[in-house]
Structure formats: structure tokens, C-alpha cells
Amino acid sequence: ELKVEQNPLFLSMQEGKNYTIYCNYSTTSDRLYWYRQDPGKSLESLFVLLSNGAVKQEGRLMASLDTKARLSTLHITAAVHDLSATYFCAGRTYYTDKLIFGTGTRLQVFP
Amino acid sequence: NAGVTQTPKFQVLKTGQSMTLQCAQDMNHEYMSWYRQDPGMGLRLIHYSVGAGITDQGEVPNGYNVSRSTTEDFPLRLLSAAPSQTSVYFCASSYNLQGANTGELFFGEGSRLTVL
């Protein structure tokens, strides 16, 4: 059964700084997802990574996937307050229809 | 653009009561799923369906029933509510998770359930 672990669980960072959220998964996964959740809100899709070495960028966020290391990263560049949210990664093992989520990383960006 | 619609948004139950959380999507998605979200636990998959008439168990299915009689609807039933089922429940849908489809999930707004 796929297990997905994120770290850190909580991240407090200053505006303008860079940081990385890590997502490790336990068994072979053929795709990896990143979602964002604002407090009290639903989840919205950020990135879908479908192959080894995939890299996607949107604004100050960049996600990558290394299937050999079973690792995905979400890199934040020059953080701004609007990025404050909880970020989840999720994976799917080959040929299953179960999307398994990590515990989430709560990001707080302060001035 | 309705997307994924969940009702009710809030519900308070007493232990032992039953209820159904409704989920409907208007995107003609084959795949639908239910998650529960608890503090520090992330989202955990309860049940999912890959099409009308087909359902399967997720990570935490005990205490919950589902059915999928139409493509659009995927209700979640609590037969005898327990305090441990106090949570926020999210319904999500996708075209499907196989082949060339990305499997990106579209989420409803959530249903907050409290069991006393």
C-alpha cells in the first residue's frame, strides 16, 4: 500500500526567502500531484507530474519528480504572503485508482 | 459552472444516527471519490468509484457505505454515526486515473460533520 510522507509539517518563512517542501512515497508511483488548500476552503490542483524528471513551474512555485528516489519537491522562490496555505502531495501506485495524500505542509509567510 | 456539489455543508448528528452526504458532479467524470480530512492526518480515502455501478474501498472504509447508480451522483452513507466520524468530508471527481488522463481531482467545497 502506498504511503506518502511530507516534510516539514509546518513551515514559517519570511517573505523573499526560498524554501523546499519534500514529498516521499513508499512504493512505485507513476504520477504525483500537488494541491493547495486555503484555511476553511477546498483543495485546488497545482501540478500533475507524470514522469521521471518532470518539472513544472507556476509563478513562484516549481515542482519536480524523481521516481527513482521516490521523491517530489515543491520549491518556493521569493515567498510572498499570498502563498500562505497548506500544500498536499498525493500519489498513485501503478494501475490502481487510489490517490493517496500526504499529511500536508502548512506554510505561513510573514513580512 | 457547478463542478462538484456537496450537501449539506454542515451537519450535527447524535451517536447512532444515520445520514447521507450527497455529492454530484456535472462534468461527466467517470471517477468519483470520498475523503475525510482530520487535523494532522491529511486526507484519507474512504471509498471511490470508477464508473456507474462500480465502487471500491479506500484506506478507511469502515462505517461508511457508498453506491453509484448514475455517473453524476456518489452519495456517502453513515449507517450509525460515531464521534470518531467527526470530520470534514470532501468529494472529488476526475475523468479517470488511467491511461493518458492526468487523473487530476476536482474537489467539492466540503461537508463538516460533527457527531455528539
Q: Are B43 and A98 an interchain contact pair (Cβ–Cβ within 8 Å)?
A: no
CA separation, residue A96 to residues A1, B30, B39, B99 (Å): 10, 15, 27, 11
% pLDDT > 70, chain B? 97
Phi, psi of B84 (to 5 degrees): -65, -10
The secondary structure element, H or E, covering residue A67 is none
Angle at the Cα of B90 from the Cα atoms of A45 and B86, rounded to 5 degrees: 140
How far is it, in rounded angstroms, from Cα A104 to Cα B29?
Answer: 26
pLDDT band at B102 (very low <50, low <70, confident <90, very high): confident
Q: Are B102 and A97 an interchain contact pair (Cβ–Cβ within 8 Å)?
A: no
Give all strands (DSSP E) within chain B, no chain letters: 4-7, 10-13, 19-25, 31-38, 42-51, 54-57, 64-66, 76-78, 87-94, 106-107, 111-115
pLDDT band at A1 (very low <50, low <70, confident <90, very high): confident
Q: What rounded mean pLDDT belongs to chain A?
A: 94
pLDDT band at A31 (very low <50, low <70, confident <90, very high): confident
Q: What rounded mean pLDDT belongs to chain B?
A: 95
Flag whether pLDDT at B100 surpasses 70. Answer: no
Flag whether pLDDT at B110 surpasses 80. Answer: yes
A74 has which bridge partners?
A21, A63
Q: A53-106: per-residue pLDDT in tens? A: 899 999 999 999 999 999 999 999 999 999 999 999 999 877 788 999 999 999
Q: B18-54: per-residue pLDDT in tens? A: 999 999 999 999 999 999 999 888 999 999 999 999 9
Residue B3, min C-alpha distance to chain A (Å): 12
Select the residue of B50, B59, B110 nearest A97 (Cβ to Cβ): B50
How far is it, in rounded angstroms, from Cα A68 to Cα A29?
Answer: 10
pLDDT band at B69 (very low <50, low <70, confident <90, very high): very high
Contact B89, B75 (CB under 8 A): no
Q: Copy the grid coordinates of residue A29.
A: 508511483
Question: Which pLDDT score, from 0 to 100, does residue A49 have?
Answer: 93
Select the residue of A1, A99, A104 nearest B105 (Cβ to Cβ): A99
